[in-house]
């Protein structure tokens, strides 16, 4: 199974594509196929701050990623709203909307996670800091360095959580009695 993980943003959107390897002799369960960030708003000065231009760029970059990696599912982080910055959640919702629409139009399975659930799944702590997430991803995947910027580590963690949830769902489906 192949899952793309997305950490949505309107300046940087982290992405990662993971392949589920099952259990191998080396003990690996997943392999990073591709990971990085979409840097949005880097065009001309007039469009650099335009939300619509960033959304258009995100749409093109994300659809290109889907075409290139051909995932079975996409895992996306849900919106987190901090009481001191409510406008951030609204702006983030625009980016998530672009991603969710592309997933639906591509006919892919969508898995959504709250940020604290991803952090808890990766580090054991729902309030883990960015550097803790980076080190946890580095350790899990045996990387020479922590993924940078932190959006990449978050996207890898989101994809990993998506693989685990889909894997557990497949196991549960096999165990359920058939009628």
Active site residues: 7, 77, 151
d(CA 73, CA 30): 15
Encode burial over 123-158: b for 16+ CB neighbours within 10 A, e otherwise.
beeeebeeebbbbbbbeebebeebbeebbbbbbbbb
The angle formed by the CA atoms of residues 158, 138 and 165, to the nearest 5 degrees, is: 30
CA 179 vs. chain centroid, Å, equals 36
């Amino acid at each position: 199974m192949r899952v793309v993980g997305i950490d949505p943003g309107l300046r940087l959107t982290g992405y990662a594509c993971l392949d589920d390897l099952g259990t191998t002799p080396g003990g690996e369960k997943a392999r990073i196929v591709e990971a990085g960030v979409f840097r949005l708003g880097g065009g001309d000065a007039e469009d650099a701050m335009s939300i619509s231009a960033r959304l258009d760029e995100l749409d093109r970059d994300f659809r290109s990623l889907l075409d290139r990696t051909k995932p079975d599912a996409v895992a996306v982080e849900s919106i987190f709203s901090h009481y001191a910055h409510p406008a951030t959640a609204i702006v983030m919702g625009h980016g998530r909307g672009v991603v969710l629409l592309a997933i639906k139009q591509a006919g892919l399975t969508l898995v959504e996670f709250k940020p604290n659930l991803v952090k808890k799944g990766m580090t054991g702590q729902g309030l883990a800091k960015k550097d803790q997430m980076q080190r946890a991803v580095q350790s899990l995947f045996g990387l020479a360095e922590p993924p940078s910027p932190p959006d990449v580590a978050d996207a890898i963690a989101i994809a990993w959580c998506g693989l685990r949830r889909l894997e557990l769902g497949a196991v549960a489906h096999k165990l359920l009695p058939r009628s």
